[in-house]
Amino acid sequence: MPERHSVDFKRVSFNILSDAERGTIALQFDTSSGEALNSAKKVLSAVERRYGTGLRSRLSRWRAGTSSPLVLPSRSKSHQETLDVLYFEMGLKPGERMDSVLANLLDFLRQQPGYQRTFGPPLDPDQVPWPIQKSALGDVSKSAQFVLRNMFER
């Protein structure tokens, strides 16, 4: 069953559509304004640097001891129904699980500059909300108290 997540950055918001049956993860950007198009290109270039087949991508993955679970298309295309939507569909490599690849992609996007929040079904029900994880050093005890309270309530 396909899942949909929405990711908000400071200058762009986009949807992530994952379909385990087809083995694809698609990024959809609304590019009706020039600023949104530039921001979408920055996000796509970060994804290509991380999961792409370029020399730098392969070298950084080799140093980290990881491999790319995704097969990236050669370029993005316009959506079939709406021309203002940029569509970037990635495939899963054989043997990869959709849950782990999607979690990896979302964690990578959370580390990018300008990230604000993600909407959609949680991948891990015990996952702490992201703003709590980024709390200031002075609030560590309050953050721990909040996390423990949420765990006991569940």
If one counts the domains in the chain, the total is: 2
Give yes or no for residue 7 having a pLDDT over 50.
yes
How many whole angstroms separate alpha carbon 8 and alpha carbon 48?
Answer: 19
Question: Which residues, at least 6 apart from 108, have a Cβ–Cβ distance to it below 8 Å?
Answer: 46, 47, 50
Write out the residue range of the structural domain in which residue 141 sits.
124-154
Q: Answer yes or no: do 116 and 132 share one domain.
A: no
Look up the CATH number of the domain holding residue 113: 3.30.1360
Task: State whether 91 and 143 are in the same domain.
Answer: no
pLDDT of 132: 46
Question: Mean pLDDT, to the nearest integer, of 51-79?
Answer: 77
The mean pLDDT of 33-48, rounded to a whole number, is 84
pLDDT score of 123 more than 50? yes
**Quick one: average pLDDT of 105-109?**
90
Both 117 and 129 in one domain: the answer is no
Q: In this predicted structure, what is the pLDDT of residue 1?
A: 67
75 — pLDDT class (breaks 50, 70, 90): low
Average pLDDT over residues 4-27: 89
Mean pLDDT along residues 113-135? 64
Q: Are 130 and 118 in contact (CB under 8 A)?
A: yes
**Which has more pLDDT, 108 or 128?**
108
Collapsed DSSP state (helix, strand, coil) of residue 126: coil
Q: What is the pLDDT of residue 16?
A: 92
- Asked whether the predicted pLDDT for residue 88 surpasses 60, the reply is yes
- Convert the pLDDT of each residue in 21-39 to its tens digit: 888 999 988 877 777 788 8
Query: In this structure, are 108 and 132 located in the same domain?
Result: no
Would you place residue 135 in the very low, low, confident or very high pLDDT band (cuts 50, 70, 90)?
A: very low
Q: Is 110 left (phi over 0), alpha (psi -120 to 50) or beta?
A: alpha
Distance CA 154, CA 143 (A): 17
79 and 142 assigned to the same domain = no
